[in-house]
Structure 1
Amino acid sequence: MRVYITDLEAYNSGHLVGAWYQLPMNEDLLAESIENVLQEGKSICEDEHFHEEYFITDYECDYMEIEEYSNLTKLNEIAEAMENIDEDGVKAINFLIENQFVKDIFEAIESYEESVRIYEDSTMEDIAYNLIEECYNLDDMPSIIANNIDYESIARDMEIEGSYYKVDSDIYEYIG
């Protein structure tokens, strides 16, 4: 996550004073970085008083929307929690948030591994076939049964059940 922190008072005076920062970062360094932006704004505006307010004018983040007045400390905590999560984990977290299965990103981070299973480039028929194969040994079944399993019908019933969601070319299963 990267954020562009801007001095609000300097901005309101017609000056764009700010800098890009990569989160997560040490809390003291974050406070110092904000302080530097505000000090630079004070200098450019030639003010006697210290500038106190800042806002986020731009950001780069794959897993959440960031608002102008988002709390930087909270964003820093989120970035720290997301730091070691792989691409599939980010997909699962976004899925939980977008479908409102969790109340916030912290709950999504805490629960995504147990709550979501992603079947990449799959169809519901693929999932039905794999489920039957996992649960039953088809080699032990009489061929009349094994050869006549209606995977399409099973897939349709699984989809109607409401635990499976198609997202692009992937199927997401919400385990809960």
Structure 2
Amino acid sequence: MEHEIKKLAIYLTNLGKYNEGALVGEWVTLPTDAEKMQAVFQRIGLGEEYEEYFITDYESSIGIQMGEYENIDELNYLANKLDDLYPNELEKYEAILAIESTTTIADYINLTENMDCYDVISNVDSKSDLGQFAMDELNSEILEHMGDFASYFDFEQYGHDLDIEWAGDFVNGNYVYHNGESSYEHYTGKRADIPEDYVVTDFKLVEKKSIKAMLEDKQGEVKVEVEKGSQNKEIEW
């Protein structure tokens, strides 16, 4: 594969051509800029005749997941936020993803601003290690008072109880958990909230709605027509 696989890459496809039986698309590594994105649009035939696109494939080195009809500007916003993270911060971000139910690109973006709400305990990959860490770092005086009896302490059971209380998980040799700090919604999902420097779709492209969304719209139209018909009948009577 010729594209550069970094944190995020998408295969952008011309939907109109796809419906005609031709797969016309290109790999795009994010983040990118408007000039490069416009060049991609031109190469895959997006413009006046074909306006709709979708994502037929994607790759992420840190476990980002997405749907076929994500907004490119929003994805580029996320990619820029990830690009701003230091290596140790990116490692922590990836670990947090293993314990969080992140379902939207907005969630991924907001997580970059809320990583202080999580703690990562290094070199702790078992409940016994977790119990040992907690006693050594948080309750060392108890062990000192126990003296020779400290060797009989059940670190695994203590770690088991802490794991239930903290609701974390063991990820890549570390323990990750939410530390109780409140998280904040920095990005609401509105396109206007995306910094202008990260917007790459200069001309209007229509993203293809999902089948579910189209069906919901159709049902809404039918409902309106039925209601209008009922009102007309009442007037006739």
- TM-score with structure 1 setting the length: 0.76
Decide whether the 8 Å contact of 2:118 with 2:176 is kept in 1.
no
Cα deviation, residue 150, structure 1: 2.8
Question: Which residue of structure 1 aligns with residue 227 of structure 2?
Answer: none
Cα deviation, residue 142, structure 1: 5.4
Decide whether the 8 Å contact of 1:96 with 1:108 is kept in 2.
no
1:134 to 133, 137, 141: 137
Q: Is the deviation greater in 158-167 or in 20-29? A: 158-167
1:175 to 162, 167, 179: 179
Q: What residue ranges of structure 2 are gaps of 5+ in the alignment?
A: 1-7, 181-237
Over residues 26-85 of structure 1, what are the superposed CA-to-partner deviations in whole Å (9 max), with x where a residue is unaligned? 13432342233225xx8xxxxxx5221111111112322222111111111111111235
Decide whether the 8 Å contact of 1:165 with 1:171 is kept in 2.
yes
* Aligned residue runs from structure 1 range 51-70, under 5 A: 51-62=50-61, 63-70=63-70
Question: Which residue of structure 1 aligns with residue 42 of structure 2?
Answer: 35
Decide whether the 8 Å contact of 2:120 with 2:177 is kept in 1.
yes
Distance 1:93 1:128, change over 3 A: closer
Paired residue type of 1:60: E
Over residues 125-167 of structure 1, what are the superposed CA-to-partner deviations in whole Å (9 max), with x where a residue is unaligned? 1121122112325785352443343323322221232433245
Distance 1:140 1:160, change over 3 A: closer
1:163 to 152, 164, 167: 167
Q: What residue ranges of structure 1 are gaps of 5+ in the alignment?
A: 43-48
1:146 to 144, 147, 150: 150
Cα deviation, residue 18, structure 1: 1.3
Distance 1:129 1:15, change over 3 A: same
Counting aligned pairs with the same residue, the percent is 25
Question: Which residue of structure 2 aligns with residue 72 of structure 1?
Answer: 72
Q: Is the deviation greater in 111-120 or in 22-31? A: 111-120
Instruction: Name the SS of the counterpart of 1:98 in structure 2.
Output: coil
Distance 1:120 1:71, change over 3 A: farther
The structure where strand makes up a greater share of residues is 1
Quick one: distance in 2 between partners of 1:138 and 1:165?
Answer: 26
- TM-score with structure 2 setting the length: 0.59
* Aligned residue runs from structure 1 range 111-130, under 5 A: 111-120=114-123, 122-130=125-133
Question: Which structure is higher in RCO with an 8 Å CA cutoff and minimum separation 6?
Answer: 2
Moved over 6 A (4+): none
Quick one: distance in 1 between partners of 2:144 and 2:93?
Answer: 40
Paired residue type of 1:173: Y
Paired residue type of 2:17: A
Instruction: Name the SS of the counterpart of 2:98 in structure 1.
Output: helix
Paired residue type of 1:172: V
Does the alignment pair 1:2 with 2:9?
A: yes
Question: Which residue of structure 1 aligns with residue 32 of structure 2?
Answer: 25
